[in-house]
């Protein structure tokens, strides 16, 4: 974490807190190596996040498509 904290414009405790949240969310895993903790992306967590975001995106596109189907083709026609 120390190397990561040195590269970021936030404090070490803030980096630690962010890593804890990412770990709780399944996006990173950590492993003790001597006196250090090494954090790595969790491929399974990233895959799950991607699937979730794709579902949200698909839902948003479907809603947009439905809204576009019921909207008038020419906004000028609405005012006539």
Which pTM was predicted? 0.65
Where exactly are the structural domains of the chain?
Answer: 1-41, 43-72
pLDDT at 48 over 90: yes
- Residue 5: which residues within 8 A CB-CB, separation 6 or more? 11, 12, 15
Over residues 1-47, the pLDDT tens digits come to 778 778 889 898 999 999 999 999 999 999 999 998 999 999 999 99
Rounded distance between C-alpha atoms, residue 30 and residue 2, angstroms: 14
- Residue 37: which residues within 8 A CB-CB, separation 6 or more? 1, 30, 31
What is the fold of 1-41? Arc Repressor Mutant, subunit A (1.10.10)
CA atoms within 13 A on the CB side of 79: 3
Rounded distance between C-alpha atoms, residue 80 and residue 76, angstroms: 7
- How much is the pLDDT for 45? 96
Over residues 56-73, the pLDDT tens digits come to 999 999 999 999 888 777
Per-residue pLDDT averaged across 47-54, rounded? 96
């Amino acid at each position: 974490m120390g190397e990561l904290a040195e590269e970021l414009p936030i404090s070490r405790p803030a980096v630690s807190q962010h890593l804890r949240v990412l770990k709780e969310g399944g996006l990173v895993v950590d492993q003790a190596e001597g006196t250090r903790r090494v954090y790595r992306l969790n491929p399974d967590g990233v895959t799950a996040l991607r699937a979730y975001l794709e579902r949200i995106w698909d839902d948003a596109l479907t809603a947009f498509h439905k809204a576009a189907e019921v909207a008038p083709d020419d906004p000028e026609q609405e005012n006539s």
